[in-house]
């Protein structure tokens, strides 16, 4: 009971407040942008040239503003938004009218979530293990060579890395597709053929994200392990004839991993913002490009939809970590 009152409830209240505040900020900020979604639709029509009567365009703008509900007062729009939020109704996309925002997100999010979630976990796991080994077993030649390779890979800008992978494995050696989420013409269904196509198309984007993620985790973990291994309690363990493997896994790694777990939780939440460059380079369907287009076109509803989900995801990630931390670190466990 004390745990619920003094730990759980305050955390939950904080969680709800963060989400409410974040969503409120997200509601107002896009409306402060100079971009108007109706103007963007008109610009898209105008950009194709041809015969568009200016007088008619002017009237069309007024009509569209009314259709999109932009003529209502800001406060009314805000209240209306909260009313619809609990049914996940973010309204229609303004630039891609009348497609519901939820439908757009629902289509794009699984691709982003799948790709980024897997790449994040893989990169985190591989990077931490290898970084930990490299940081602890400093005399190992193999690990030193590996560390050198990581130092070469790490500074490569992501765009260049992605292009290199495409050039090598999709163009020079055409093993994987140049881009896309699955083979053109296939039906989206849980069939072996479709799943196989998805995996094949996801491989290069996954590899590009995992490589750089793993390199980053490797370097940070190496530094953390190098710090921990010089602590007094480690020397004491060695003097006490504790096995090297036990010292590494249960003493060093377990202490060094704590900041990495926090980092993982934060990164998991940010999945919902997408990976714009990945989606552009690999023509991968995802939420990053959707968000980019929403911002460029002043699509308030779509911006709010995506960022709301992102806010909830990040806040939830932090909350989960708050609950999980006592499992990993007994020092902060409440009695």
User: Per-residue contact track with another protein, 3 to 22, x per CB under 8 A?
Assistant: x-------------------
- From 41-49, 72-80, 211-219, 246-254, give the range in contact with another protein by CB under 8 A: 41-49
Identified binder of another protein from the candidate list 174, 232, 245, 331, rule CB under 8 A? 174
User: Per-residue contact track with another protein, 101 to 130, x per CB under 8 A?
Assistant: ---x-xxxxxx-x-----------------
Shortest separation between residue 3's beta carbon and another protein, angstroms: 7
173 binds another protein (CB under 8 A): no
289 binds another protein (CB under 8 A): yes
318 binds another protein (CB under 8 A): no
Torsion on CA atoms 81, 86, 91, 93, rounded to nearest 10: 110
Which neighbouring-strand residues pair with 92?
100
Identified binder of another protein from the candidate list 237, 281, 291, 318, rule CB under 8 A? 281
Identified binder of another protein from the candidate list 15, 169, 186, 203, rule CB under 8 A? 186
Task: Give whichever of 145 and 324 is closer to another protein, judged by the CB atom.
Answer: 324
Cis peptide before 98 (omega within 30 of 0): yes
Number of neighbouring beta carbons within 10 Å of residue 297: 22
Task: Give whichever of 90 and 136 is closer to another protein, judged by the CB atom.
Answer: 90
Comparing C-alpha atoms, which of 331, 328, 127, 122 is closest to residue 224? 127
Task: Give whichever of 197 and 260 is closer to another protein, judged by the CB atom.
Answer: 197
Shortest separation between residue 155's beta carbon and another protein, angstroms: 22
What is the size of the binding site for another protein (CB under 8 A)?
79
54-88 per-residue burial string, b: 16 or more CB within 10 A, e: under 16: eeeeeebeeebbeebebeeeeeebbeebeeeeeee
* Contact set for another protein, span 62-91 (CB under 8 A): 63-64, 66-67
Torsion on CA atoms 48, 52, 58, 59, rounded to nearest 10: -120
Give 118's contacts (C-beta < 8 A, 6+ positions apart).
Answer: 206
- The two tokens of residue 232 are 């007094």
């Amino acid at each position: 009971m004390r745990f619920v009152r003094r730990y759980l409830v305050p955390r939950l209240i904080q969680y709800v407040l963060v989400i409410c505040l974040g969503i409120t900020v997200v509601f107002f900020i896009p409306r402060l942008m100079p971009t108007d979604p109706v103007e963007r639709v008109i610009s898209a029509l105008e950009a194709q040239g041809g015969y568009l009567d200016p007088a008619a365009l002017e009237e069309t703008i007024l009509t569209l503003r009314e259709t999109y509900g932009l003529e209502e007062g800001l406060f009314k729009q805000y209240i209306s938004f909260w009313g619809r939020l609990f049914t996940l109704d973010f309204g229609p996309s303004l630039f891609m009218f009348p497609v519901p925002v939820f439908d757009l997100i629902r289509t794009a999010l699984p691709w982003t979530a799948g790709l980024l979630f897997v790449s994040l976990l893989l990169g985190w796991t591989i990077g931490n293990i290898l970084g930990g080994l490299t940081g602890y077993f400093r005399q190992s030649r193999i690990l030193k060579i590996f560390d050198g390779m990581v130092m070469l890979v790490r500074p490569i800008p992501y765009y260049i890395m992605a292009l290199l992978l495409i050039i090598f494995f999709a163009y020079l050696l055409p093993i994987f597709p140049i881009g896309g989420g699955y083979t053109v013409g296939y039906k989206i269904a849980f069939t072996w053929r479709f799943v196989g196509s998805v995996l094949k198309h996801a491989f290069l984007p996954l590899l590009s994200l995992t490589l750089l993620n793993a390199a980053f985790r490797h370097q940070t973990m190496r530094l953390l392990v190098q710090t921990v291994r010089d602590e007094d309690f480690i020397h004491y363990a060695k003097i006490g004839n504790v096995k090297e493997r036990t010292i590494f896994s249960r003493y060093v790694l377990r202490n060094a991993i704590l900041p990495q777990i926090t980092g993982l939780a934060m990164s998991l939440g940010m999945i919902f913002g997408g990976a714009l460059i990945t989606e552009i380079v690999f023509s991968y369907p995802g939420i990053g490009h959707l968000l980019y287009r929403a911002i460029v076109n002043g699509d308030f509803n779509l911006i709010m939809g995506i960022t709301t989900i992102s806010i909830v995801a990040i806040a939830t990630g932090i909350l989960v970590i708050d609950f999980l931390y006592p499992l990993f670190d007994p020092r902060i466990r409440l009695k």
